[in-house]
Amino acid sequence: MKPKPKKSFHKIAYLSLLLSFAMIISYVENIIPTFTFAPGIKLGLANGFILLILYLYGPAEAVIINLTRIILSSLLFGSMYSFLYSVTGAAFSLLIMILLYRKNEVFSPVGIGMLGGLFHNIGQILIAFLVTRLPGIIFYVPVLVVFGLAAGSVTGLLSKLLYPTLKKIIKTEKGV
């Protein structure tokens, strides 16, 4: 009889898979031109995988995988500026998502995704102001609020739809 592999090997394998999916989505979103009147607007579907990791494994794993994704994406198909904007947006986004996740009886994954998208854009607009020192950047905030909430609802819905299937496959102890 073969010994069963430890759960930690399964966890590393599944987290690596989810990281890979998030990286692929990040790359695809990076090469697709944006057709909106607002430059740089993207759905941020990779954040849906980070939200899934938050629900499946918890905050520590979500932070580690998100930071790994940002570093690898910046090195492979980004720049120092893209890293700066991504890590700032992700820090704001993940912080609010973790805080709301801890109150999961109040906020659904869609609500957490929406506020995560909003805070991602708030973080990016703050770093954009610090980098450019252009006060006119404040006029971009309403556009980012609308797009952040819309994109966050898509990532939250993606997470909510994928969660039950992945929960069965991965068999973690965490829950929505």
Q: What is the mean pLDDT of each run of 10 residues along the chain (176 residues)?
A: 64 93 89 70 88 94 95 89 91 95 83 95 92 87 91 93 90 51
Please report the pLDDT score of residue 52 as a whole number. Answer: 94
Domain that holds residue 140: 13-28+39-170
Looking at residue 33, what is its pLDDT? 73
Q: How far apart are CA 87 and CA 66, in angstroms?
A: 9
Question: Does the residue 139 lie in any domain?
Answer: yes
Report the C-alpha gap between 25 and 23 in whole angstroms: 5
CB atoms within 10 A of CB 161: 12
Rounded CA-CA distance 23/19 in Å is 6
- Examine residue 137 and state whether it is found in any structural domain, yes or no: yes
Closest CA to 109 of 45, 163, 39: 163
In a domain, 33, yes or no: no
Residue 164 included in any domain: yes
Q: Can you give the pLDDT at residue 170?
A: 83
Number of domains in the chain: 1
Q: What is the pLDDT of residue 175?
A: 46
Asked if residue 97 is part of any domain, the answer here is yes
Whichever domain contains 126, its CATH number is 1.10.1760.20
Is 176 within the bounds of a domain?
Answer: no
CB 22 within 8 A of CB 76: no
Instruction: Render the burial of 13-38: b for 16+ CB within 10 Å, e for the rest.
Output: ebbeebbebbbebbeeeeeeeeeeee
Local structure of 15: helix, strand or coil: helix
How confident is the model at residue 43, as a pLDDT?
82
Q: Do the domain assignments include residue 175?
A: no
**Domain membership flag for residue 2:** no
